[in-house]
Amino acid sequence: MPFGYVSPEQQMRDKADYARKGIARGRSVVVLQYVDGILFVAPNPSRALHKISEIYDKIGFAAVGRYNEFEALRLGGIRYADINGYTYDRDDVTARGLANLYAQNLGQIFTESMKPFEVELVVAEVGDSSDEDHIYRLTFDGSVFDESGLVAMGGQAEAVANRLKERYRDGLPLAEALEAALFALTEPGGERFPANQLEVAVLDRNRPHRRFLRLNGPRLERLLSAGSAEAEASAETPAVPPAPAPEKSDTAPTAPEGDIDTGSDS
């Protein structure tokens, strides 16, 4: 055996650890369904470098990790969506197709290149009803997870997801969904993020043409204060206990089949 030999298993494990560490360094992003569509919330002091973006009429994108890497994926996604919508019809662009494209590329990069991408993505598509909404989460190795209800990724993702599950239930109005997201993103006992430190967007199924809308400025302030007033009111009169949040389907990657995903179980 040559000196310096590293087994493929070890290589994959090292790459996965490297990527996971990079992703955990940043802040979390949460994506959750609300009554009229899908809400994206990311603590982000930068006005210029977005973590949340519009991809197409019904499709939104959120990412954590290294900016230049997910930005390349975002731009590729926009090109994919625009060229397919132009070649066929605007309704023929789906989040599923886009998630597969990303999965294929992330998987290839993970196995072939020295350094894996340190990113985790959400591709979400809003449907005509909440049953037709799709939220796909993609990890650095190209695994795709078909999520329902809510996703938290990046930073202390697991703790954030658990806090989000406490507050989440189906069919939340926008202000309450935003309140739940902020509750989850704030560490217990920590300061709330002010409106100018937040990047918030929705895919609103009731909008015509392009469903994606950024919420900022006075509109966001109003939503934030409406949400916290609501939370205080419900804290005083603890009414119905929140319905159990849907299980995360961590165990069942939809594509590619879990073979190359050496990182997820270690």
Partner 1 sequence: MGSHRDLPAGMVNHIFTDTGSSSFTEFVRSHSPDLLPGRNDVLATPVGDQIPHATTIVTAICAGGVVMAGDRRATSGNIISQRDMEKVFRTDDYSGMGIAGAASTGIEMARLYRVELEHYEKREGRTLSVAGKANRLATMIRGNLPMAMQGLVVVPLFAAYDPDLDGGRIFSYDVGGGPYEQHQHHAIGSGSIFARGALKKLYREGASPDDTVLMLVQALYDAADDDSATGGPDLARRIWPVVAVITADGYRRLSDEEVAGFVQTVVDSRMTSPDGPTAPLR
Residues that bind partner 1 (CB under 8 A): 48, 50, 53-55, 69, 72-73, 75-76, 78-80, 82-83, 85-87, 101, 104-105, 108-109, 112-113, 117, 209-210
Residue 60 CB, shortest distance to partner 1, in Å, is: 11
Residue 179 CB, shortest distance to partner 1, in Å, is: 27
Residue 33 CB, shortest distance to partner 1, in Å, is: 23
Nearer Cβ to partner 1 (119/182): 119
Nearer Cβ to partner 1 (122/160): 122
Residue 8 CB, shortest distance to partner 1, in Å, is: 17
Secondary structure, 3-state, the chain: CCCCCCCHHHHHHHHHHHHHHHHHHCCCEEEEEECCEEEEEEECCCCCCCCEEEEECCEEEEEEECHHHHHHHHHHHHHHHHHHHHHCCHHHCCHHHHHHHHHHHHHHHHHHCCCCCCEEEEEEECCCCHHHCEEEEECCCCCEEEECCEEEECCCHHHHHHHHHHHCCCCCCHHHHHHHHHHHHCCCCCCCCCHHHEEEEEEECCCCCCCEEEECHHHHHHHHHHHHHHHHHHHHCCCCCCCCCCCCCCCCCCECCHHHCCCCCC
Nearer Cβ to partner 1 (92/232): 92
Nearer Cβ to partner 1 (207/248): 207
Residue 245 CB, shortest distance to partner 1, in Å, is: 32
Nearer Cβ to partner 1 (119/177): 119
